[in-house]
Amino acid sequence: MENGEFVQCSSNNIDPKKATVLALGKAFPHQLVLQDFLVDAYFKITNRHDPDLKQKLTRLCKTTSVKTRYVVMSEEILTRYPELAMEGVPTVKQRLDICNTAVTEMAIEASNSCIKKWGRSVSDITHLVYVSSSEARLPGGDLYLAKGLGLRPNTQRVMLYFSGCSGGVAGLRVAKDIAENNPGSRVLLATSETTIIGYRPPNADRPYDLVGVALFGDGAGAMIIGCDPDLGAETPLFELHTSLQRFLPETEKIIDGRLTEEGISFRLDRELPRIIEDNVQDFCDELMGFCGTDVDYNGLFWAVHPGGPAILNKMEKKLQLLPEKLSASRRALADYGNASSNTIVYVLEYILEETKRVEEDQKLGEEWGLILAFGPGITFEGIVTRNLTV
């Protein structure tokens, strides 16, 4: 970007002072859930029989647009910990025993995949940003991840806990700032999540729990971020420009999560999609305003955390986006569900796939785009980015 105008991308005009994403990685637990079989399996595994709730969950599973998801929860876990499917039983210790181990294993796997694609030594990592809303312990998961990867003891660590769905982009914003203020640094951003922390049996008094059952998935994601890439050894994917975070006053209860003796009690207000719709254009206008130019939003690519189909639909309508603009987000939602902070990694991977497919059709893809996510607060996170593979 020069003088407020967008410029054509090439390896020769990468800004050495701007952070770039140098590699992406992901990992999942072994349990694959097919949405078509979820309802029967969920009621069977929790030993519940409620035709009305079962019908409601069936409707929700169809409206979420999710096709497949990965989850840590299994029959083996419920056989070992049957209390996880019981009402009113203190189970936070059991849940954290499972979650703390699971998120570390997935974070290590995703990070190793990312580091392998990056192509440099793990000893070249100088900083670690770790994001999770699925564990609680001291020392935190950042230290266990560093140990599992064999990071140097002087690796500088930052931990972001309980940022929810906006955590992946929040972590990317923090990694961007670290990279741009520490010349020569290479930052590993790792996210890892599992729904076991809030797993509950169906209950007519908590019909809103069924939204999470129909929508959320488990997994991990990772990125390497750094400035001034070595083009002989590294492949820059995205250049990160302006970042912005905003919260909406008096919306703290719209996304409500509390750690209780029975795990996390989590609730999404029905008004969430409408609130995002009412505020997303102002946020995007402010974010793009830093670029000093009027922007056609259909001239950008969109890497949006898919909180759910209603949020994507409302965004698409409000910003008058063409249907294909949110295709990467919709694909990630269909394939992995809402995997909280991890999902932005999966969306960015699909952006790169779409770029390659467009180029194979001898067309020019969008060079500039927005990375967006929405989380508790309600918090908006956004980064103006440039696709360096175009």
Hey, which residues are catalytic here? Answer: 165
DSSP 85: G
Please report, for residues 170, 214, 225, 338, the alpha-carbon distance to residue 309 in angstroms, rounded to integers and kept in the order given.
22, 12, 30, 10
The stretches of the chain forming alpha helices (DSSP H) are 35-45, 51-63, 75-80, 92-118, 141-149, 167-181, 209-215, 272-289, 309-318, 327-336, 343-360
The DSSP result for 321-379, as a single string, is: --GGGGHHHHHHHHHH-B-GGGHHHHHHHHHHHHHHHHHHTT-PPPSEEEEEEEETTTE
Go through the chain and tell me how many residues it has: 390
Q: How many CB atoms lie within 10 A of CB 291?
A: 16
CA distances for 127 relative to 142, 178, 183, 351, 388, angstroms:
11, 8, 12, 26, 23
Instruction: Tell me which DSSP letter residue 317 carries.
Output: H
Give the whole-angstrom CA distance, residue 77 versus residue 157.
32
SS3 sequence, 276-292?
Answer: HHHHHHHHHHHHHHCCC
Q: Peptide bond preceding 236: is omega within 30 degrees of 0, i.e. cis?
A: no
Spatial CB neighbours of 389, under 8 Å, sequence gap ≥ 6: 237, 352, 355, 356
**Bridge partners, residue 223, by sequence:** 24, 189
Q: What's the rounded Cα separation, in Å, for the pair 28 and 88? A: 30
Distances from the Cα of 46 to the Cα of 86, 134, 165, 213, angstroms:
8, 21, 27, 12
Strands, sheet with 301-304, edge to edge from the N-terminal-most edge strand: 156-161, 127-132, 186-193, 219-226, 20-27, 238-247, 379-387, 368-375, 301-304
What span, in angstroms and rounded, lies between the C-alpha atoms of 113 and 127?
A: 17
